Each structure stands twice: as structure tokens, then as C-alpha cells.
Chains A and B, each alone.
Chain A
Amino acid sequence: MGMNEALFTFSVRQADSALVLAQRLCEWCGHGPVLEEDIAMSNMGLDLIGQSRGYYSYAANIEGGGRSEDDLAFHRNEREFMNRCLVEQPNGDFGHTMMRSFFYSAFSALQHRELRSSTDETISGVAQKAWKELQYHARHTGQWIVRLGDGTEESHQRIQSSLDELWSFTEELFDTDRIDEQLVSEGIICDIGLLKPEWDVMVNDVLHAAGLVVPPKGYRSKGGMHGVHTEYLGHMLSEMQYLPRAYPDARW
């Protein structure tokens, strides 16, 4: 695969994960349990939309075929989305949303910490900002997990169920393929497999402080990066993409 094609695919994968999670977080807008958390979720969503724009516009630039960042976000179908399956999972209750974001932001923060030293100027630029933002997403969501796990019997039981349900989607975060290997060998991206031990420590520290128990190894998701998704993504996209598809000429 040519370098540009590999860079394009990597950028779209990065953008897709950030955008899909942003859309999920913004589904909470107006429904948060308290005003501050409503704002917090939309704020985090906004950061992620910003990060996805950085990657989408770079991908559109590399492709150079006239597709814009908006075309990439709003005019591709489910099977063309290459996000990790974790981020498309439905919101569930507030704790469930915190758990999903925590897994992703701890991962993505570590990845972007490394991408800051990418030999690719654009990726390293996007990473500098993403690293700052994802750290406080991981703190905010991690601290909620502790509060809920160490809270009431009800909150503990509910956040434990979220852990049980979402845990099987975490391994996929670290999946790579030949495109990644190619970019790693060029010094453009980092080998995310090397970050897994650090992610494990952070996640275990939080789950331990919350008094939660990691479920036994069982099913694990895979394939999001190749467009194979759970049933939820298509439904989410049909809502997210509705306006630009129904009114293709609509402008801000």
C-alpha cells in the first residue's frame, strides 16, 4: 500500500472513533443527570469533534479528490466507518457512558502522547492538543467510576454491570494491522501495543479504587477498523447524518 493511502486510512480511523464517541456524548445534551455533567459531556464531545476534524481534514487533503471533511463524516455508510466498536456502544445510564469514555480516553491519551513526536507534522500537531484534552477526559470519567463504584449498593451494582458489558470491547482498542505496521516503521505513528501495559495499570488502579472486579476473559470484539460493526452504529449514523443527506446543499 502506498504511503498516502496508509496515512489516509489511519487518519480516517482516528477521526471515526473520535467522531462516533462525540456523537454519543452529545446525545446526552439536555438529558444529563445534573447540569454540570450535561455540560461536561458536551464539552468532551466538542473536544473530540475538534480532534476528528483535524484528522478528517488531513485525510481529505491527502486524498485530494475533492471530498471534504464533511463528506467523510456525513456521506459514508456504516461499513465504511472504521472506528473501534467500543465507542459506538449505546449510552446506557450515566455510569455506563463514563465507563465507555474512560476506557477510550485513557487509551487515546496514551496514544496521542506518543503521536506528539510523529515525523508527520499534521499528526503531531493534532496530537499535541488531543493529549492535553484526553488527559482530563480520563481524569473526569475515571473519578466518576470511583465515586459510583464506591457509592451506594445500587450505583456499585450498576457500574459493575457496565464494566462487565464493556470490558469485551477494550482489547480491540489495541488491534493493529499492516497499515499500522507500515506507518510505525516510518516513525509516523507509535506501536500502540507497547502502551497496553501502561493502560492496564491505569485502568486497574481506577477499577481497584472503585472496588470493581474485572470479568473473566470471554468474547472480545474485533473488526471495527475494517468496517465490521455492532448493530448500533448504523442506527446512530442514520440520525447523525440525516440533515446533510436530506438537504445536501445545506450550509452553516
Chain B
Amino acid sequence: MEANIQPRITDETRPVWTLLDQIPDPEVPAISIVELGVIRDVQLSGKQVVVEMTPTYSGCPALKTMEDAVLAELQANGYEVNIRIVYKPAWTTDWLSEGAKAKLKAYGIAPPPRLTVKRFHPLDSDEPSRVSCPFCDSVDTKLTSQFGSTACKALYFCDGCRQPFELFKCH
């Protein structure tokens, strides 16, 4: 499935990936931009590097911040950097590794459930059937709003521990 395409890391490009993996997501600093899945490819020729990045949401305001961070990090390590923004394949939360999901949970954000393809009808609910609270693991939770503090999160409330929390939206 196209959605599961993962970037190719070679022995040659691994040092660049390692540097990029140290850059935190500006909105969810618990995970790196590599773990987030927005770095799609790294091509290296000598000290010249081309980094392909993709936005999470079309209008994600953090993309520019991430581009600047990539430039700064790689330039500081002696690379000549060119960033290309790609739209295909479209970013999906299915690219988050299990490790990244565990980090999100530890940070207090419920990780995204697996994407299920549904028919498109405005009256169909788009709530995932089970969302567990990142604090107490209760599934007695309810959606407050599909739109949270950033484009990629929804607001939930846990009736188990009476805490509001955020869900990293399935996308």
C-alpha cells in the first residue's frame, strides 16, 4: 500500500538521517521530525544534500520552522543543503512508528489509532471507535472537538480520571 512507503536509508545517508533525527517536532517536541515522518528522502553527493520534506497538513504552519531547523542543523555540520517540498505520497499518521507512538503517550498525547478507510458521507462519524486516555488508559473518553491547539490534534475528555487530553488525529 502506498501509504506505508517508508523512506530508504542507506549507509551513505545514515549520518544525515541521524542529524535530522535530533531535530524535535516544533509542535510536539516529544518526537523528532524523522519519527513524525515528514522527511521523505535524503540524497547525498559529497557534501551536497537534498532533503525531501512533506507537510503533515496542507497549511501546517510548522513546516517553515522545520525547514529552517533542517537547514541550520545540516549547515552547522558542513553540508550544502537543498530542501524540496513534496506532496506525494500524502503524509499519514500510519507512518508514525510504534516507538514514536509510545513517546507521544508518555508526553500526554493519545497516539493516533490506525487509519481505516471509510466511505465519505458528511453524516458519518469520523471519530475513532476507541480512544484511550494517555494518563489512566481508560477508554471512557469522549470527543470535545475535532479541532485542537494544532491542526493535527483533537480535544478529548476522559471520564475515568476527569482530565482533558489531546489526541493526535488519525490522518
A-side interface mostly = helix
Instruction: Please determine whether B90 and A143 come into contact, CB atoms closer than 8 angstroms.
Output: no
Instruction: Please determine whether B123 and A51 come into contact, CB atoms closer than 8 angstroms.
Output: no
Within 8 Å by CB of A47, from B58, B88, B89, B122, lies B58
Instruction: Please determine whether B88 and A124 come into contact, CB atoms closer than 8 angstroms.
Output: yes
Instruction: Please determine whether B151 and A43 come into contact, CB atoms closer than 8 angstroms.
Output: yes
Whole-angstrom distance between the alpha carbons of A139 and B147 in the complex? 12
- Write the B85-99 contact mask toward A (1 if CB under 8 angstroms, else 0): 011111100000000
The 10 closest A-B pairs by CB, nearest first: A50-B58, A50-B59, A125-B87, A142-B122, A128-B90, A36-B145, A40-B147, A46-B59, A125-B88, A43-B147
Instruction: Please determine whether A129 and B122 come into contact, CB atoms closer than 8 angstroms.
Output: no
Please report B residues at the A interface, Cβ cutoff 8 Å: 55, 57-61, 86-91, 120-126, 144-149, 151, 155, 171
Which residues 130-159 in A have Cβ within 8 Å of B in the complex?
A: 130, 132-133, 135-136, 138-143, 146
In this assembly, does A175 line the interface, its C-beta being within 8 Å of a C-beta of chain B?
Answer: no
In this assembly, does A86 line the interface, its C-beta being within 8 Å of a C-beta of chain B?
Answer: no
Interface size class of A (residues with CB under 8 A): 35 or more
Q: In the complex, what residue of chain B is closest to A145 when comparing beta carbons?
A: B122
For this complex, 20 residue pairs linking A to B, each with C-beta atoms less than 8 Å apart, are A36-B144, A39-B148, A39-B149, A43-B147, A47-B58, A47-B59, A50-B60, A54-B87, A102-B122, A125-B88, A126-B87, A132-B90, A132-B171, A138-B122, A139-B126, A140-B147, A146-B123, A205-B122, A205-B123, A206-B122
Smallest beta-carbon distance B117→chain A, Å: 11
Whole-angstrom distance between the alpha carbons of A146 and B121 in the complex? 14
Whole-angstrom distance between the alpha carbons of A72 and B89 in the complex? 27
**Chain A residues with CB below 8 A from B55, complex form:** 50, 129
**Chain A residues with CB below 8 A from B146, complex form:** 40, 136, 140
Known: A48-B59, A51-B58, A142-B122. A40 touches B145 (CB 8 A): yes
In this assembly, does A122 line the interface, its C-beta being within 8 Å of a C-beta of chain B?
Answer: yes
Point out which of A48, A124, A133 has the most chain B C-beta atoms below 10 A from its C-beta.
A133
Within 8 Å by CB of B123, from A45, A128, A135, A209, lies A209
Known: A40-B147, A46-B151, A47-B57. A135 touches B120 (CB 8 A): yes
Q: A36-B145, A125-B87 are in contact. List 14 more A-B contacts (CB 8 A).
A: A37-B145, A43-B151, A44-B147, A45-B59, A50-B58, A51-B59, A53-B59, A54-B87, A125-B88, A126-B87, A128-B89, A136-B146, A143-B123, A146-B123
